[in-house]
Amino acid sequence: MIEAEQEYPVWDRHSCLSHTDRQECRSHARWFFILLLVGFSALAHAQQVPEKWLTGYEKSGYKKTPRYKETMEYCRLLERGSPWIRVTKFGTSPEGRDMPLVIASKDKIFDAKGAAKSDKAILLIQNGIHAGEIDGKDACLMLLRDIAITKSKASLLDHVILLVIPIYNVDGHERFGPNNRINQNGPEEMGWRVNALNLNLNRDYLKADAPETQAWLKLFNAWLPDFFIDCHVTDGADFQYSVTYGIELHENVAPPVRSWIQQQYLPMLSALRLDGVPVAPYIFLRDALDPLKGQDGGGVAPPRFSTAYVPLQNRPGLLIETHMLKEYKTRVDGTYGLLEATLRRMNEEYVSLRNAVRLADKEVAKGIHEAYAVRYDQVDTPSDTISYLGFRQQNGPSEISGTTGIRYTREPFEAHVPRYDSVRATTLIRPPAAYLIPAQWKDVAERLKMHGLQLERLTAATTVDVEEYRFSNASWAQSPFEGRHAASYRVDTIQRRRTFPAGTIVCPMRQRAAKVALHALEPQAPDAFAAWGFFDAVFEQKEYAEDYVMESMAPAMLSADSALARQFREKLRTDSLFAKSPGARINFFYQHSPYWDDAVNLYPVARLMREQVLPTEPLR
Ligand SMILES: [Zn+2]
């Protein structure tokens, strides 16, 4: 049941992510007019900018992206040049670099507590999680300058506090070279996809193995931004769009946030044109050889991805994917245009956005009382038809691949193609009132705390009725995926009355981040800690019966227990592998003896299903 990424073939084919919404939005003439201007404004502003304030990217004629050191120098220059800018760090990378955060605030609110007390909406923009896909950094440096120095875009801070991570994967960024992105058209040199530990940070959000992720979670939970944007560059098909986007919009998004996206944000997005072309939902062709067969919506992404994680925290998450084959300048301008348009919309709708996010927090904190879906499948019938701006293909036999090779021409076409963007829940969980985690699973508790979950501990031994999970048929992926070997298993529920000692960790579900707990602690969820191997030791049998000891005990067991005798004979008859395995036969008796270890294959985290008052204190 638990994957390596193969279970998500749609995402696997592409560099970054994701899925998009399928909300069919009507064009609004007003948006069209405003946004037409937005897309072309970046260059115009660059031309009016004094030499001192040009970014490294602009000075290079839009061909190069600055290194980490130059990027930091420019951020410091902005800080010295404007009282609205503060440069700080939010973590340290595995190779020892500071992880920078630039805060832009007209009211000079540079701390999370002050921001929470203000009436501003908070936007977090993240760049360079895949450090070779660095368009967002160069767009953001210009945007910060245009806001805080030349002030041509100063109004973007009227109702918003802007947090920019100029480079997230700082170590990857400094693995710099011209050959890091085979599919990508510039800049001349760029950083590398993964961090110094060879981990893809955009698969790490829920398991939080990387120091960068742990620092990010601390940052996120301190500020709780109202909107999150993650900037990337695509791999995948060739088409006319310079900028595509993804935004989670199925039932995995809290209803108030979902309505805000649908009503207040998507109409603007669907009217936006960049580089003369509309922005499009992230494109997953169903058949790379024939775009007319339509597009997959991508379903519901698992929360290993940034923009699928933030909805579990009740926030909208926008994925920006510029098209790899477009010129670097076109891509940076496109990113700038979409960031600016989003900031404008946030300034107009900051009250409704803040209300939506806070309402979602409040509703989740009341407890999730309905069945909760941790897995969805895409439905294999089209949800609707959309316009597609592609390039014609002249595919033909390939001596290189031995199959049909894809060859794109430069001949553009527009077609209306089916889009498959309906999903259905496939794994539903009945949420507990609380999880009970034995104190020894400290690493699990630590990660839950990183996710902003408030934990408690029992102050006295407590006997309660709980639901527990028993694993069977466990196996592990042969190859590592993100440094771990994914576990698969069957899960059965058992009901028990159990005494938990003082010190047992309690994760109550009446809290705003409860959906993160469900995804981390329900073993059937796609990014469950159990699936990532946090609990692998519980699958191991640690005590064995000596054959000759069991030989002497087994006959007495058979004669004392006729049901056991029947079961043994039946197993011999129907299970030839068992019948042929002396070890399995001996172990059968050991398993049915009072000596057997009941904790083998038992998931140590118990589910308290009924709301009840427990003797607890907060876990610091
Ligand atoms: Zn990416």
Ranges assigned E (strand) in 282-398: 284-285, 295-296, 317-322, 372-378, 384-393, 396-397
CA of 133 to the centre of ligand 1 (A): 6
CA of 194 to the centre of ligand 1 (A): 10
CA of 202 to the centre of ligand 1 (A): 8
Ranges assigned E (strand) in 394-531: 396-397, 404-405, 408-420, 423-429, 434-437, 456-458, 462-476, 487-500, 505-508
Give the whole-number percent of the chain exceeding pLDDT 70: 92
What band does 46 get if pLDDT is binned at 50, 70 and 90? low
CA of 104 to the centre of ligand 1 (A): 25
The answer to whether 147 and 122 are in contact (CB under 8 A) is: no
CA of 301 to the centre of ligand 1 (A): 14
Helix (H), strand (E) at residue 299: none
The answer to whether 406 and 288 are in contact (CB under 8 A) is: yes
Separation of first and last alpha carbons in the chain: 35
The answer to whether 418 and 478 are in contact (CB under 8 A) is: no
What is the SS3 assignment for 57? Answer: helix
CA of 242 to the centre of ligand 1 (A): 15
Structure tokens at 198: 């060879």
The pLDDT tens digits of the residues spanning 494-526 come to 999 999 999 999 999 999 999 999 999 999 999
CA of 83 to the centre of ligand 1 (A): 33
CA of 205 to the centre of ligand 1 (A): 14
Mean pLDDT of the chain: 93
- Structure-token match 């170590």, residue found: 171
Q: How many residues does the chain have?
A: 620
The pLDDT tens digits of the residues spanning 294-306 come to 999 989 999 999 9
CA of 17 to the centre of ligand 1 (A): 7
CA of 299 to the centre of ligand 1 (A): 18
CA of 123 to the centre of ligand 1 (A): 20
The pLDDT tens digits of the residues spanning 135-146 come to 999 999 999 999
Sign of CA dihedral 351, 259, 213, 445: positive
Residue 45 predicted with pLDDT over 90: no
CA of 190 to the centre of ligand 1 (A): 13
CA of 513 to the centre of ligand 1 (A): 26
The pLDDT tens digits of the residues spanning 345-360 come to 999 999 999 999 999 9
What is the SS3 assignment for 458? Answer: strand
CA of 445 to the centre of ligand 1 (A): 30
CA of 233 to the centre of ligand 1 (A): 6
Which amino acid appears at position 323 of this protein? H
CA of 235 to the centre of ligand 1 (A): 8
Which amino acid appears at position 441 of this protein? W
Q: What is the pLDDT of residue 275?
A: 80
The pLDDT tens digits of the residues spanning 373-420 come to 999 999 999 999 999 999 999 999 999 999 999 999 999 999 999 999
The pLDDT tens digits of the residues spanning 166-191 come to 999 999 999 999 999 999 999 999 99
The answer to whether 446 and 534 are in contact (CB under 8 A) is: no
pTM: 0.92
CA of 262 to the centre of ligand 1 (A): 25
What is the SS3 assignment for 196? Answer: coil
The pLDDT tens digits of the residues spanning 186-241 come to 999 999 999 999 999 999 999 999 999 999 999 999 999 999 999 999 988 999 99
Buried b (16+ CB within 10 A) or exposed e, 21-33: bbbebeeeeebee
Q: What is the pLDDT of residue 39?
A: 46
The pLDDT tens digits of the residues spanning 434-455 come to 999 999 999 999 999 999 999 9
Count the Cβ atoms, other than its own, within 10 Å of residue 480. Answer: 13
CA of 167 to the centre of ligand 1 (A): 13
**How far apart are alpha carbons 338 and 123 in whole angstroms?**
13
CA of 385 to the centre of ligand 1 (A): 27
